[in-house]
Copies of this chain bind each other. A is one copy, B any other.
Amino acid sequence: MTAIGKRWMMSAIGQPLLEHALELTPPAASEVTVQIAGCGVCHTDLGYYYNGVRTNHPLPLALGHEISGRVVAAGSDAESWLGRAVIIPAVIPCGQCDLCRRGKGTICPNQKMPGNDIQGGFATHITVPAHGLCAVDESRLRKAELSLADVAVVADAVTTPYQAVIQARVQPGTLSVVNGVGGVGGYCAQIATALGATVVAIDVDPKKLEAIAAVGGAAKTINAREVDPKDMKKLVGAFAKERGLPPKEWTIFECSGTAAGQQTAFGLLVHGATLAVVGFTMDKVELRLSNLMAFHARALGNWGCVPELYPAALDLVLDGRIKLSQFVEQHPLDSINEVFESVHAHRLSRRAVLVP
């Protein structure tokens, strides 16, 4: 096979992304070539493009790590994937090393993240290791009235908070607080709800709060702009009391990726609390770290999600327990520069998926 595809490459910070021809050569052993159905535009891509966060692979590089598509070529040991609809994990561990064998693929030293370690998904095709691919049942996809491009966002936007919720051990009866219910936090709220938590959603954007309440992802919403930060914990505590939920052991998901949001989330620590740091910001925050000790609380970070958890996260989507179609919108890949600008300017209320 030597066919021609296309990819959109970043050559320098803020410079227009440019279309390049892409020669498709047969994948190596244990690798597959995926014809891309869609690739989501993530905050992380914007960090590379606008804010100078450095990619591990030198520029020029195609960004994009939320990828779904169909396997159109497979190397030896990967032939069973041929023709199948798949989601490519945002972080692909090697699957071989000691850490991978112990279920710690997110810190695998040989991991590959498309659009960071290797060429990414803003392209017609991508070649990746077959390890960790998540098969998509297309009949269930149709029943759920979703397209293969839609579920691109399962890689990262859905699975990252899914791993955070699993790590935090959310269960029926848990009070969860999700701070920031945008592209990632909205799914976080829905996932925590699906796993039995009663969710309080906090955001500065009333539209996002309405949207997440409308799909049943939050039992209560709080506009952070309307509440003195000092009163936030009291407000959540009053809600807990009203609902007969415990005053301790809250699980708090910081998904805003802002210093102010991290302050808010840290300020919600109660005895036995778990704070999941899901969003990323380069900014530092000033906080009393000793509160973790005084409250016997913990703060957990997670980098992406191990491939082992993708099928369960996808199940929630295909079963309709996570609503997805209300939160994504498809755009032609050719409009990538305009879409990046729109996302950067916060003009889109849904997550953009670029479709070749």
Contacts and interface: CB of A to CB of B under 8 A. Distances in A.
B285 A289 contact: yes
Given A248-B107, A299-B298, A284 B282 contact: no
A156 to B, nearest CB: 13
Interface string A125-143: 0000000000000000000
B296 A107 contact: yes
A221 interface: no
Contacts of A302: 293, 296
A196 interface: no
**Taking the full assembly, how many copies of this chain does it contain?**
2
Contacts of A104: 249, 272, 296
A287 B285 contact: yes
A78 interface: no
A271 B301 contact: no
A221 to B, nearest CB: 24
B266 A289 contact: yes
Contact of A292 (B249, B284, B299): B299
Contact of A297 (B109, B293, B301): B301
Interface string A100-117: 000010110100000000
Nearest to A301: B292
- In this complex, the interface size class of chain A, counting residues with CB under 8 Å from chain B, is 35 or more
Contacts of A254: 289
Contact of A303 (B107, B288, B296, B301): B296
A91 to B, nearest CB: 10
A117 B143 CA distance: 60
Interface in A6-60: none
B293 A277 contact: yes
Contacts of A109: 248, 271
Interface string A286-328: 1111111111111111110000000000000000000000000
Contacts of A249: 104, 107
8 contacts: A107-B295, A277-B293, A282-B290, A285-B286, A287-B289, A291-B301, A292-B300, A292-B301
Given A107-B296, A284-B287, A296-B301, 14 more contacts: A99-B248, A106-B296, A254-B289, A277-B290, A279-B293, A285-B289, A287-B287, A290-B301, A292-B299, A292-B301, A293-B301, A293-B302, A293-B303, A296-B302
